[in-house]
Structure 1
Amino acid sequence: MTTLTVKIESLEDTMARAVSVVSQWDSAVMEDPAVTLSFPSWEVMHRVLAPKRLDILKVLVGQGPLSIREVARRLGRDFEGVHTDVDTLVQNGVVDKTKGGIVFPYERVHFDFDIRAAA
């Protein structure tokens, strides 16, 4: 099962994780790296993965390519609004745009972050 893990982490943490994955390429036993989408803050994550955009992902899970029109129909939303949301998801690497339509190539989304008290 392919899972997209969404994290809130600093650029330094993201880079350290990337270096760790790259360093494993030379080892004989390389773990299958998790597919991770990182955001620097809750606010940025929420801007990209707003509730209506998460609804789009729910429609796309396990469906293969769907047209934006079909996604809008399934959600009961207008085409223009869904198109704008899909563009944001594509630009942020959450969904892929293909000749056949838009695709969410994962079977689930896992959110992995802590919320701490403000400093």
Structure 2
Amino acid sequence: MTTVTLSAASRDDVTQRALAAFEGKQQGAHISFSSVDLLWQIMMRKRWQLLKAMTGQGPMSIREAARRVERDVKTVHGDVHALLDAGILDRTDDGHIVFPFDAVHVDFTLTAVA
């Protein structure tokens, strides 16, 4: 099973993970956001539903993704492009969209405001 971790991470955290990967240490699949606020801005409820419908399902057309979430193709098209721009979805050579993971883990820490 291939799991991706969505996280809020600083540039230093991402750099440290990259350096460890260059040293041969397994890091797993990560998609990092600069803040928790940005993570939630990108991953709105309807986009979570779309990811849930696409997780582990292989490449599909936007129309098929819209059918699976029972939404209008035009609005799903907008969400797909937001997820493509954020690096969460990929596009195949034949133009389909794919979320190439079987599971999603979300990782961030909420701290008290000083």
Q: TM over 0.5, yes or no?
A: yes
> 1:23, CA displacement in angstroms?
2.2
Residues 72 and 82 in structure 1, CA contact (< 8 A), matched pair in contact too: yes
Unaligned runs of 5+ in 2: none
Residues 10 and 40 in structure 1, CA contact (< 8 A), matched pair in contact too: yes
Cα distance in 1 for partners of 2:34, 2:59 equals 30
Residues 62 and 76 in structure 2, CA contact (< 8 A), matched pair in contact too: yes
Residues 5 and 35 in structure 1, CA contact (< 8 A), matched pair in contact too: yes
Give 1:28's aligned residue: none
- Match of 2:74, SS? helix
Cα distance in 2 for partners of 1:50, 1:118 equals 24
Give 1:97's aligned residue: 91
Aligned residues: 113
Give 1:22's aligned residue: 22
The one-letter code sitting in structure 2 at the alignment partner of 1:48 is I
Alignment of 1:6 with 2:19, yes or no, is: no
Give 1:111's aligned residue: 106
Residue among 68, 90, 104 paired with 1:74: 68
Cα distance in 1 for partners of 2:113, 2:44 equals 22
Cα distance in 2 for partners of 1:55, 1:77 equals 10
> 1:100, CA displacement in angstroms?
5.3
Residue among 50, 73, 84 paired with 1:56: 50
Say what the alpha-carbon RMSD is for the aligned residues. 1.3
TM-score for both structures, normalised by structure 2: 0.91
Residues 36 and 108 in structure 2, CA contact (< 8 A), matched pair in contact too: no
Cα distance in 2 for partners of 1:40, 1:56 equals 22
Larger radius of gyration: 1
TM-score for both structures, normalised by structure 1: 0.88
In structure 2, do the counterparts of structure 1 residues 4 and 51 end up closer, same or farther at CA, with 3 Å as the change threshold? same
- Match of 1:4, SS? strand
The one-letter code sitting in structure 1 at the alignment partner of 2:70 is G
> Percent identity between the aligned chains?
42
